């Protein structure tokens, strides 16, 4: 099964989206798909941490624990919340019975593009790489939802956008100047908040 999973990831890497159909209908792929989801989110977090490390920022050990380990767990939990939103929206809009296990398996495989986030270690393009990874993930998830449910068009766009919004907004709230509990590009928000807070404090003191 491990060899088959690797082959499927490679096929997805060359945009063979038929692999999403295969995974969705293969009961044996449930655990591998969840493992891919967890591993891909971990790699996004690791890429963000490597960017943090190579940028010379402090508290590398603390950020490693918060962003990579804890942040990846939060990301995984919120991804499941994303799928719950997709399920609820599609049920209400289309009144179609949705196979939850098939949706989870296909969407789990669709998280593979997040592994691109490991390249955030490359200086100068780190933030852009993070955005590309998350954007590619959202697009492959769109395809996964369509293939797992047999629904296409506007309902899937709305459902996927709503689920993604839940994930992204929650991740943004977790990224603060003192608690970097968010993976990948969301670490940039932690830095931005720290800088703006410092500047604001400086203005107050100067005045």
CA-CA distance, 7 to 11, in Å (whole number)?
6
Residue-averaged pLDDT of the chain: 89
Mean pLDDT in residue range 33-45: 96
**Better pLDDT: 85 or 184:** 85
**Better pLDDT: 54 or 204:** 54
CB 117 within 8 A of CB 51: no
74-88 in b/e burial notation, b at 16+ Cβ within 10 A?
Answer: bbbebbeebbebbbe
DSSP 8-state assignment for residue 103: H
Span 148-182, pLDDT tens digits: 999 999 999 999 999 999 999 999 888 876 777 88
> For the chain, how far is it from start to end, CA to CA, in angstroms?
65
Residue 195 pLDDT level (bands cut at 50, 70, 90): low
DSSP 8-state assignment for residue 175: B
Which residues lie closer than 8 Å to 192 by C-beta, 6 or more apart? none
CA-CA distance, 16 to 205, in Å (whole number)?
58
User: Treating both helix axes as pointing N-terminal to C-terminal, what angle do 71-94 and 126-149 enclose, rounded to 10 degrees?
Assistant: 40
Which residues lie closer than 8 Å to 65 by C-beta, 6 or more apart? none
Residue 192 pLDDT level (bands cut at 50, 70, 90): low
Name the residue among 89, 97, 104 with its Cα closest to residue 154. 89
Span 122-145, pLDDT tens digits: 988 988 999 999 999 999 999 999
pTM: 0.88
4-16 in b/e burial notation, b at 16+ Cβ within 10 A?
Answer: ebeebbebbeeee
Span 57-79, pLDDT tens digits: 778 888 899 989 999 999 999 99
Mean pLDDT in residue range 96-101: 92
């Amino acid at each position: 099964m491990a060899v088959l999973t690797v082959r499927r990831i490679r096929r997805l890497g060359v945009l063979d989206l038929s692999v999403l159909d295969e995974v969705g209908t293969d009961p044996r792929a449930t655990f591998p798909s969840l493992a891919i989801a967890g591993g891909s989110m971990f790699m996004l977090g690791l890429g963000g941490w490597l960017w943090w490390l190579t940028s010379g920022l402090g508290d590398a050990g603390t950020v490693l624990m918060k962003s990579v380990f804890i942040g990846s767990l939060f990301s995984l939990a919120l991804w499941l919340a994303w799928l719950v939103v997709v399920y609820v929206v599609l049920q209400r809009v289309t009144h179609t019975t949705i196979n939850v296990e098939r949706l989870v398996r296909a969407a789990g495989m669709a998280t593979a593009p997040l592994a691109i986030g490991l390249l955030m270690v490359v200086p100068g393009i780190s933030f852009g790489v993070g955005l590309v990874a998350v954007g590619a993930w959202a697009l492959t998830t769109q395809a996964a939802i369509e293939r797992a449910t047999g629904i296409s068009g506007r309902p899937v766009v709305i459902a996927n956008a709503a689920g993604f919004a839940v994930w992204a907004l929650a991740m943004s709230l977790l990224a603060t100047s003192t608690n970097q509990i968010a993976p990948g590009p969301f670490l940039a928000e932690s830095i931005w908040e720290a800088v703006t807070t410092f500047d604001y404090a400086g203005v107050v003191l100067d005045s």
